[in-house]
Structure 1
Amino acid sequence: MAQNVLLTGGSGFIGSYLTNLLIGAGYTVSVLSRNNKENTDTITYYKWDLNKNYIDENAVLNADYIIHLAGEGIVEKRWTEKRKKAIIKSRVKPIDLIFSVLEKNNKKLNAFISASAVGIYGAVTSHKICTEDTPAANDFLGKTCQIWEHASDKIEALGIRTVKIRTGIVFGKDEGFLKKVSPSFKSGFGVALGTGKQYLPWIHIEDLCQIYCKSVTDDQMHGPYNAAVTDNTTNERFSRILASLYGYAIWLPKIPPFILRLVLGEMSEAVLKGQRVSSEKIQRTGFEFQFTDLEKALISCIH
Structure 2
Amino acid sequence: MKVLITGATGLVGNELVSLLLQNGVSIHYLSTSKKKIENELNYKGFFWNPEQGLIDENCLMGVDAIIHLAGATISKRWTKAYKQEIIESRLVSSNLLFKALKNNPHQVKQIVSASGVAIYPNSYTKVYTEDSNEIDDGFLGTVVVKWEESVDKFKLLNIKVCKLRTALVLSNKGGALMEMIKPIRWGLGAAFGTGKQTQSWIHVHDLAALYLFAVENAWDGVYNAAAPNPVSNEEFTKAIAFVLKKPLFLPNIPQFLMKFFLGEMHELLFENKNVSSQKAIDSGFIFKYKTIDKALGSLFP
State the TM-score, normalizing by the size of structure 1: 0.94
Q: Partner residue of 2:80?
A: 81
Moved more, 255-264 or 95-104: 255-264
- Give the letter for the 1:113 counterpart: V
Q: Partner residue of 1:268?
A: 266
Distance 1:60 1:44 in 2: 11
Q: Partner residue of 1:291?
A: 289
Q: Partner residue of 1:67?
A: 67
Q: Partner residue of 2:45?
A: 45
Secondary structure in structure 1 of the residue aligned to 2:193: coil
Moved more, 178-187 or 28-37: 178-187
Secondary structure in structure 1 of the residue aligned to 2:279: helix
Distance 2:176 2:215 in 1: 26
Distance 1:178 1:267 in 2: 15
Shift of 1:266: 2.1
Contact 2:11 2:174 in 1 (8 A): yes
Q: Map 1:50-199 onto structure 2 (within 5 A).
A: 50-77=50-77, 79-122=78-121, 124-135=122-133, 136-199=135-198
Distance 1:35 1:277 in 2: 36
Shift of 1:126: 2.0
Distance 2:141 2:271 in 1: 13
Verify: 1:223 aligned to 2:231, yes or no. no
Q: Partner residue of 1:10?
A: 8
Verify: 1:277 aligned to 2:284, yes or no. no
Distance 2:124 2:143 in 1: 21
Distance 1:125 1:272 in 2: 11
Shift of 1:195: 1.9
- Give the letter for the 1:294 counterpart: I
Q: Map 1:198-277 onto structure 2 (within 5 A).
A: 198-219=197-218, 221-277=219-275
Distance 1:10 1:66 in 2: 11
Q: Which runs of 5+ in 2 are unaligned?
A: none
- After superposition, give the CA deviation of every residue in 1:244-298 in whole Å (9 maximum; x if it has no partner): 2222331111111111112222222221122101111111111111111111110
- After superposition, give the CA deviation of every residue in 1:73-124 in whole Å (9 maximum; x if it has no partner): 11212x23222111011111111011001111253412111000101113x2
- After superposition, give the CA deviation of every residue in 1:142-174 in whole Å (9 maximum; x if it has no partner): 111011011111101211111000000111233
Secondary structure in structure 2 of the residue aligned to 1:283: helix
Distance 2:144 2:263 in 1: 20
Distance 2:143 2:241 in 1: 33
Moved more, 152-161 or 38-47: 38-47
Distance 1:301 1:182 in 2: 12
Q: Partner residue of 1:34?
A: 32
- Give the letter for the 2:5 counterpart: L
Q: Which runs of 5+ in 1 are unaligned?
A: none
Secondary structure in structure 1 of the residue aligned to 2:21: helix
Contact 1:231 1:276 in 2 (8 A): no
Shift of 1:43: 1.6
- After superposition, give the CA deviation of every residue in 1:40-87 in whole Å (9 maximum; x if it has no partner): 34421110112211111111244221100011111212x232221110
Moved more, 56-65 or 7-16: 56-65
Distance 1:228 1:269 in 2: 19
Contact 1:102 1:108 in 2 (8 A): no
Contact 2:62 2:106 in 1 (8 A): no
Distance 1:60 1:180 in 2: 37
- Give the letter for the 2:9 counterpart: S
CA distance 1:38–1:280, change in 2 (3 Å):
closer
